């Protein structure tokens, strides 16, 4: 199967999985939960879903646990929404890339504005 087809299927599964997670009524699932990436295997039997949860570690652990418990329901809902020969079994993996990006953004924000203006003034003088 061509790689572009697998990529399209992975993206479609990611979109539907994101919708399904938003619709779940489990109180253990955090409100700020997002599906970052889904990797579907070439035979369409398995899928790794990378989930980002904005919150503390206990909230992240509860969310991943709740998703693992609801894996059968999620798989059934995906099979209803995405027409595939096989519906993949999901493995949920906690992804901290969004948190990491927010941390880097915060660090950049805390750089003093005077340092940035000094660099601009130096650049203007060199013209």
Domain boundaries, the chain: 3-95, 97-127
The pLDDT of residue 18: 95
The pLDDT of residue 123: 55
pLDDT at 127 over 80: no
The tokens describing 18, both together, are 């994101």
The pLDDT of residue 55: 83
Model confidence pLDDT, tens digit, residues 66-114: 999 999 999 999 999 999 889 999 999 998 877 788 888 888 888 866 5
User: Is the alpha carbon torsion for 27, 28, 32, 37 positive or negative?
Assistant: negative
Going edge to edge, which strands form the sheet with 46-53? 33-40, 46-53, 89-94
Taking Cα atoms as reference points, which of 79, 81, 50, 63 lies closest to residue 24?
A: 63
3-state helix/strand/coil string of 42-57 = CCCCEEEEEEEECCCH
Please provide the CATH number assigned to the domain covering 3-95.
Answer: 3.30.300.20
Helix and strand numbers (H, E) in the chain are: 5, 3
Select, from the ranges 54-63, 97-106, 113-122, the one with the highest average predicted confidence (pLDDT): 54-63
Model's pTM, two decimal places? 0.76
The pLDDT of residue 62: 95
Model confidence pLDDT, tens digit, residues 12-43: 999 999 999 999 999 999 998 999 999 999 99
Give me the residues paired with residue 93 across strands: 50
């Amino acid at each position: 199967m061509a790689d572009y087809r697998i990529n399209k299927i992975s993206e479609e599964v990611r979109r539907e999985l994101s919708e399904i997670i938003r619709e779940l009524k489990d109180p253990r699932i955090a409100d700020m939960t997002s599906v970052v990436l889904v990797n579907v295997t070439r035979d369409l039997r398995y899928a790794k879903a990378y989930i980002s949860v904005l919150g503390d570690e206990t909230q992240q652990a509860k969310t991943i646990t709740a998703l693992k418990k609801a894996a059968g329901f999620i798989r059934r809902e995906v099979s209803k929404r995405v027409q595939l020969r096989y519906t993949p079994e999901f493995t949920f993996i906690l992804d901290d890339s969004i948190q990491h990006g927010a941390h880097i953004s915060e660090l950049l924000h805390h750089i003093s504005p005077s340092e940035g203006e000094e660099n601009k003034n130096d650049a203007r003088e060199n013209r």
